[in-house]
Chains A and B, each alone.
Chain A
Amino acid sequence: METFFNPRSVAVIGASNTFFNLAATICNLLKYNKYHGNVYAVNRKGESVHGCPGYASVLDIPDEVDLAVILISAKNVPGIVRDCGEKGIKSIVIESAGFDEAGDEGAALQEEIEQYMRRYGLRILGPNCLGTLNTHNKFCCFYGFIPEKYGDGFIAPGTISYIIQSGGIGVLVLDSFNKDLCRVNKMVSIGNKSDIDEADLIDYFNGDNTEVIGMYLENVQNGSKLMKTAMRVKKPILAFKVGRTAEGSRAAMSHTAGMANNDVIFDSACRQAGIIRLKSISELHSMPKMFTTMPLLRGKRVAVITNSGAFGGIAADLLVENGLEMAALAPDTIERLAKTGQLFNAKNPVDLGPAMSKQMFIDIFDILLSADEVDGLLPVPNVWQDIVVEAILELIKMCHHYGKPAALYIPNAIERILEIRSMYRIPVFESPEEATRALVVSHQQYTYILKKEQTHEGDAAEGAGKETESAIGV
């Protein structure tokens, strides 16, 4: 699988100098990114494209080729796949559309490709996909990617890897991270999944430098393979799936079948296999930072800290509505809080009032994080002085010390939130709803890890205990 993200040499089949040639944009991007491997263009005339040497056939390329990227009309694809097999290319990305998704004729073409795949022992990504992207080595075979516009995605490599069934979603995620703490590691678009599917890629991302796996799915073909794979993986797997309202197409003879539309089953499968089901597309890029910057939420009891009574109430509602609890503070904790200074309210939600010193913030964070009855924090501080930012930076360290997370929200306009987040590298969420969701998914991941460990208890190797501790962020 590594070849798909880090090929030593790649042939872009279909890249030419004709006007509006999509495959040529891949050559252009790889040159722009100064990709370390050899890039060849294959077209009828055998002409070079954007400085990539050109050949009329892959069979004419004098050197070894690791990866072929095919973007030509569907009817010509099977023959080219055969050529690739003859050339000894084992990894192929087919970006062309017009296969299984396009009726019987297309399905016949896909079947022909699959025959060559078996004959030559190929691995195929697609067809009808956008290809792969790796920010660490700047490899990208997405077509139509304009480096001048979206090249920022490559500036700082990250640790979040995405499996997507839509190129548009990929670009949205990549772009959204420019003002966030997380960055993309790898991204792959799976298209018709004639060979490589989401389960294969989860497996691959489980073994590389990925910290969080994100998925945008439109359908699942092999449900049990996905579940078996996900059950083995302890990295967070976040999935957004469309089709929540579509009814299953099966004939409903029993009442049970009438209630079992495909989405209900997918949802159950996620719970069973430990996949976090996202509620909105923006959660694909807003949630990962909770996993990369904070320990997991081990219980449901959350303490809210704010200097606005209103936000105390808002946060309390949100927590309870989403299945979490407002931590009931012990008398001893309340007493310690009261001693820190002039708090408006020393119960949960803790109301800080206006006058504050950095040390007072730190004392309050420490009292709450060290309290047995508190599993995590939802701080909603007004960042009206630099000392607040300084205190938050301390809070992040303290969260790791106590192994308890904080999901921060700053009650300001979005521009200010983004500014503070990118300037100070503080994990701030963009709304109280988002911060609450971050706590929910964090707790969900914690319970999933426990479940996965229990499932594998019998056959787990001796080192499993160690692995657990790191996986749940201790």
Chain B
Amino acid sequence: MKEMLQRAQERKQKALSEYESKALIASAGVATAREKLAHSREEAIRFADELGFPVVLKGCSDRLMHKTEKGMVKLNIGSAAEAADAYDDIISRDDIGLDGVLVQEQVKGNRELVMGLIRDPQFGPCVMFGLGGIFTEVFKDTAFRVTPLSPSDAEEMLEEIRARDILDEFRGSPSVDRDTLVSALVGLGDLALKYPSIAEIDINPVIVSGNSPIAVDALVVLNGGERK
């Protein structure tokens, strides 16, 4: 991870790509969707087949912002033929030089959470947990804690959001595995303390599949690397 961050800094990246971001948070103990970076149509088809349909295809680059709006996210890909078409379509829209196309298992679940990290000028790195999905910023139902986090700090965060009841049994789904959430939040805080070059992290959505919270999208924003 250290090498990846160093390389990103040397290349003056403002952020890590989705693929790199997920590798980084996975190293901190956040469960992420299974995915592979395809560099050709054939690879994309093979990866999709290996992961099992349906899959999601996404353009992947550290410079790619607003990928949904740019038509670079293809959901519900159900066959090899659809995967090939989706791959071609993403490549045809590429005007920045993508690293490749991310082929990802499609995680199913009706609950979406968010996790994140910021550096506060007075208090240092802070971890966030909350209600995720596209309405995150509308509801602003989030809880913060200053790092380093103890497991009980993380447990308090789960109890602090207004929508805390969705962590319990919900519309036929089992209650969310809280231990996984707690270790992910603690791990994110430790990540910030370990790597000063991480400025901010957004993990949204974290989809609850069965009882397992799985990070489906992630963004790691980098700073100049100066130690705070």
Interface residues of A (CB under 8 A from B): 219-224, 227, 248, 250, 253-260, 262, 264-266, 268-269, 271-272, 451, 454-455
Contacts and interface: CB of A to CB of B under 8 A. Distances in A.
A255 B118 contact: no
A254 B118 CA distance: 9
Interface stretch (B31-39, B74-82, B100-108, B143-151): B143-151
B153 interface: yes
Nearest to B199: A253
Interface stretch (B52-60, B172-180, B200-208): B200-208
B140 A223 contact: no
Nearest to A223: B123
Given A265-B144, A269-B146, A451-B152, A256 B124 contact: no
A153 to B, nearest CB: 32
Given A254-B118, A254-B201, A259 B145 contact: no
Contacts of A258: 137
Given A256-B128, A256-B201, A272-B153, A223 B120 contact: yes
B56 to A, nearest CB: 20
Interface in B114-166: 114, 116-118, 120-124, 126, 128, 130, 136-137, 140, 142-146, 150, 152-153, 156
Contacts of B130: 259
Contacts, number: 84
Chain B: number of interface residues, binned into ranges: 20 to 34
Interface of B: 14-15, 114, 116-118, 120-124, 126, 128, 130, 136-137, 140, 142-146, 150, 152-153, 156, 199-202, 204, 219, 221
Contacts of B117: 256
Contacts of A266: 122-123
Contacts of B144: 260, 264-265, 268
Given A272-B145, A272-B153, A451-B152, A256 B122 contact: no
B123 A250 contact: no
A223 B137 CA distance: 26
A265 B114 CA distance: 17
A256 B116 contact: yes
Contacts of B123: 220, 223-224, 227, 265-266, 269
Contacts of B156: 271
Contacts of B114: 255-256
Contacts of B202: 254-256
